[in-house]
Structure 1
Amino acid sequence: MSLARSSPSVENRTGVHRLGWLDALRGIGALAVVGEHLFTWAMPWLRPTQINLGMSGVLVFFLVSGYIIPTSLERGGDVRAFWIGRFFRLYPLYLAVIVLVLALSPWIPVRPEVPRDPYAVAAHATMLLDVVGVGGVLNTMWTLSYEMAFYLMVAALFVTGAHAGRAARRGLVAVLFGLAAIVAGMTLSAAPLSGAGPAWVALVVFAAGLGCVFAGRLRTLASCALGVMALALLVLSSRVPWFGLAMLAVMFTGTAIHRWERGSGTLRPVALTLLLVALAPVWAISAGWWWVRPDVWIGTVALAAATFAAGLALRGRRIPRPLAWLGVVSYSLYLVHLPILLVMIHILGERRWSPLPHQLATGAVFLLVLLPVVGLTHRLVELPMQRLGRRLARRV
């Protein structure tokens, strides 16, 4: 098997150096999510019930984001360039997938969780879907809500200098979010705010705040307003407030791990935060779905933590090139796999009770279609837009 260098970094096709072990973790996380959906439909005998495989993959993604995003912002030193890069990294494929799902809607109806109302458009425009209590046109899009909330908060910490303060260096931000998840779970049975209001408020503040950042006016004030908005929405309007706070705790845990690796922090806040996240649903009022049962949830969190720890421990090793490639295309893999799966379900119907050879053939066909498609979407959509974003960022 051919290998790609992972220490200290590998170079992708764009010529940008990347940490190979983080690519490997992204690839593993994406495969876990794909596996969860494929196994549920076609191979239930492969789907574990003691953990939520897909959720463990999402948590790995969040740890990776927490590890790398604040560092990229600090290294660049420019919040406007950071946001240009994020927009051209996330939005082109995101919008393309939304268009695809809507184009397929005459045959494959859009999820009923998506309100048939203009405020659903507002929620999709900001990506703050789950954070404002709105379902996405794909059920995988909920994770982007917390990624966006994290970006907004990290940018606010950066412009105020709080990212370099003692609390940030010691990982206390992660611990505070973990404690907030516990408290929210014990006190809130549902989000205090619902309906169209949060989505419209988020859109107005999002557009005005980022408009100021891009224009170079009132950047600090605008970034702080965006960060405060994200935090307020997490508590007041996210679908399950304790869960949203726990997701931010996981991402800031990734940041704390990076601080520790650089010698400016310890692992104590990491361990404490992961413990708080693992225990959050134990006393939560709103924790009725199967994979937040304490035994399942704790196992899921433990698997994600162990996966990230293994990647961190092996960061000086050579990474198999296919795994590194899966990490490079992980965003395409994450967003594109579900529309392909929905089309196959529409054509083939239920496969859970099909003979084993049929199930295996279905899985093989799915992967044979999926992998070339994500390679194309990465090459034709993601890479050109990322290059454009970098060119624009260099001009600011």
Structure 2
Amino acid sequence: MSRNGNRISSLDGLRGLAAGIVLIHHASLIAEPWLDPAGWALLTQSPLKLLLAGSEAVMVFFVLSGLVVALPALRPGFSWARYFPARLVRLYVPVIAALGAATLLVRLVPRDASTMPEDSWMQDTQATHVSAADVLSQMTLLRSDYPIDNVLWSLRWELFFSLLLPVYVWLALRVRRFAVPVAALTVVLMFLGRAGGNSALAYLPVFLLGTLIAVRFSELRDWAARPQVRRVLPWVAVVACTLLIASWLARPLTAGTIAADLLWALAGAGAALLVILAVVWPQAQRALGTAPMQWLGRVSFSLYLVHAPILATLCYLLGAEQWWLACLVGVPLSLAVAAAFHALVERQSQELARRAGTIGAALADRAAVRRIRTARQAALARQ
């Protein structure tokens, strides 16, 4: 398995692939009102949906976070005092920068929702005006809706998971011997959350799937190295992809039923299997380790943050009927802006996060020294 420092290159590639799919997904939502319904059904209710599976790609992000954020916490010498400030800086600095840039775009390019197709992604989810209160409230990542940069809805759950990481790690370690049945229970919780309209119950369990992978990481690699297992991994990939988009493949039969919610939850299992395959299947490692996938992986967070405001702004700038031009220009422009954002903002946030972690660890060490000194003084006073 190729590693770059403490990073696993195939997981970087998978993250890049997922970010690219989210980009194409949002471009497809711009195109949807202008496409023939039969053509749209062909795109979304067939295996072609894998290329447009944006919501499902976010589940892959969640499983990846559950794995890669938890892995360091399982190593000796891990410092929670270092982790929390570093993680918060790592999340918030790029989010604030992206939100500021998106706000500027809304201010610069006039937006009138009535010029967009009825009940479309452009009309229903994109801000047409902003206020300071809007920006500040969305900056907290505590809202349920994010019209200025609507991908931030998922960062809300990333934030909650990051704060709850000690609970996730504790739970995963306690149930590690029963990882498979617990993973099945996790999918059940996702189903209950989806069916009951409880977003926290629908999404937060997805991170646990990644944390369960983390606590069984070595065993999974050893298991997958067996020749009899290696032979069936291509079929596991087929199953994973099918589970990921099962709710779409079955949509003509299950739309509006409880079965649709169950199939939606199975996408979490598909996402977890794809993450496992990325670290145990040589063919997947080779594909995800190619230069384009690695580049996408490096800028994936930046791409995720910047692409939706760019696509929306181009639609308003060019006009609804020029949707095809907005997509044609918006996709490569998003990639270029993501590269610049990564260089100018994300890399700086990584350095700031390291500094914040160092400060947090130093403060914790000082507090520990003071506690020890106080305890010694109290013990001497009792003698």
TM-score, scaled relative to structure 1: 0.65
**Paired residue for 2:73?**
73
8 Å contact from structure 2 (residues 187, 265) kept in 1? no
- Corresponding residue SS for 2:215: helix
1:36 aligns with 2:25: yes
Change (3 A) 1:57 1:376: same
- What's the CA shift for 1:175? 4.9
Change (3 A) 1:66 1:111: same
Once residues 304 and 268 of structure 2 are traced to their aligned partners in structure 1, the CA distance between those partners, rounded to angstroms, is 20
State the identity as a percent. Answer: 27
**Paired residue for 1:376?**
340
**Paired residue for 2:143?**
129
- Corresponding residue SS for 2:148: coil
Once residues 147 and 31 of structure 1 are traced to their aligned partners in structure 2, the CA distance between those partners, rounded to angstroms, is 19
- Corresponding residue SS for 2:69: helix
8 Å contact from structure 1 (residues 84, 392) kept in 2? yes
Backbone CA RMSD of aligned residues: 4.1
Once residues 128 and 72 of structure 2 are traced to their aligned partners in structure 1, the CA distance between those partners, rounded to angstroms, is 35
- What's the CA shift for 1:310? 3.7
Change (3 A) 1:153 1:349: same
8 Å contact from structure 2 (residues 59, 271) kept in 1? yes
**Paired residue for 1:170?**
178
Which deviates further from its counterpart, 23-32 or 249-258? 249-258
Q: In the TM superposition, what whole-angstrom CA distance separates every residue of 1:76-119 from its partner, at most 9, and x where no partner exists? A: 6111211222122211111012112222333247846999795x
**Paired residue for 1:26?**
15
**Pairs within 5 Å for 1:107-122:** 107-108=110-111, 111=126
Once residues 164 and 204 of structure 2 are traced to their aligned partners in structure 1, the CA distance between those partners, rounded to angstroms, is 10
Once residues 340 and 177 of structure 2 are traced to their aligned partners in structure 1, the CA distance between those partners, rounded to angstroms, is 40
1:147 aligns with 2:158: yes
Q: Which amino acid aligns with 2:339?
A: G
- What's the CA shift for 1:377? 0.5
- Structure 2: gaps spanning 5 or more residues: 113-124, 225-240, 248-253, 362-383
Change (3 A) 1:391 1:332: same
Change (3 A) 1:113 1:148: farther
Change (3 A) 1:316 1:303: closer
Q: In the TM superposition, what whole-angstrom CA distance separates every residue of 1:165-194 from its partner, at most 9, and x where no partner exists? A: 4225533765554444444556x4xxxxxx
Once residues 246 and 314 of structure 2 are traced to their aligned partners in structure 1, the CA distance between those partners, rounded to angstroms, is 38
8 Å contact from structure 1 (residues 136, 142) kept in 2? no
Structure 2 residue corresponding to 1:256, chosen from 212, 221, 236: 212
Which deviates further from its counterpart, 250-259 or 106-115? 106-115
Q: Which amino acid aligns with 2:22?
A: V
- Corresponding residue SS for 1:341: helix
**Paired residue for 1:322?**
292
Once residues 108 and 337 of structure 1 are traced to their aligned partners in structure 2, the CA distance between those partners, rounded to angstroms, is 17
Q: Which amino acid aligns with 1:387?
A: E
Once residues 178 and 300 of structure 1 are traced to their aligned partners in structure 2, the CA distance between those partners, rounded to angstroms, is 9
**Pairs within 5 Å for 1:192-207:** none
- What's the CA shift for 1:251? 1.5
Q: Which amino acid aligns with 2:14?
A: L
Q: Which amino acid aligns with 2:178?
A: R
- What's the CA shift for 1:60? 1.1
8 Å contact from structure 2 (residues 246, 263) kept in 1? no
Once residues 43 and 257 of structure 2 are traced to their aligned partners in structure 1, the CA distance between those partners, rounded to angstroms, is 12
Once residues 286 and 183 of structure 2 are traced to their aligned partners in structure 1, the CA distance between those partners, rounded to angstroms, is 29
1:332 aligns with 2:302: yes
Once residues 85 and 300 of structure 1 are traced to their aligned partners in structure 2, the CA distance between those partners, rounded to angstroms, is 31
**Paired residue for 1:8?**
2
Structure 2 residue corresponding to 1:344, chosen from 314, 317, 340: 314
Once residues 164 and 363 of structure 1 are traced to their aligned partners in structure 2, the CA distance between those partners, rounded to angstroms, is 42
Change (3 A) 1:384 1:304: same
8 Å contact from structure 2 (residues 23, 331) kept in 1? no
- What's the CA shift for 1:303? 5.6
Once residues 64 and 356 of structure 2 are traced to their aligned partners in structure 1, the CA distance between those partners, rounded to angstroms, is 26
- What's the CA shift for 1:368? 2.9
8 Å contact from structure 1 (residues 181, 277) kept in 2? no
Q: Which amino acid aligns with 1:96?
A: A
Change (3 A) 1:277 1:60: closer
**Paired residue for 2:264?**
297
Once residues 22 and 102 of structure 2 are traced to their aligned partners in structure 1, the CA distance between those partners, rounded to angstroms, is 19
8 Å contact from structure 1 (residues 93, 381) kept in 2? yes
Change (3 A) 1:292 1:151: farther
Once residues 64 and 3 of structure 2 are traced to their aligned partners in structure 1, the CA distance between those partners, rounded to angstroms, is 15
Q: Which amino acid aligns with 1:367?
A: V
8 Å contact from structure 2 (residues 106, 313) kept in 1? no
**Pairs within 5 Å for 1:347-358:** 347-351=317-321
Q: Which amino acid aligns with 2:56?
A: S
8 Å contact from structure 1 (residues 30, 57) kept in 2? yes
**Paired residue for 1:99?**
100
Once residues 300 and 183 of structure 1 are traced to their aligned partners in structure 2, the CA distance between those partners, rounded to angstroms, is 14
Q: Which has the larger radius of gyration?
A: 2
8 Å contact from structure 1 (residues 169, 256) kept in 2? no
8 Å contact from structure 1 (residues 81, 393) kept in 2? yes
- Structure 1: gaps spanning 5 or more residues: 1-6, 11-15, 189-239, 268-273, 281-286
Change (3 A) 1:150 1:175: farther
- What's the CA shift for 1:56? 1.6
User: How many pairs align?
Assistant: 308
- Corresponding residue SS for 1:137: coil
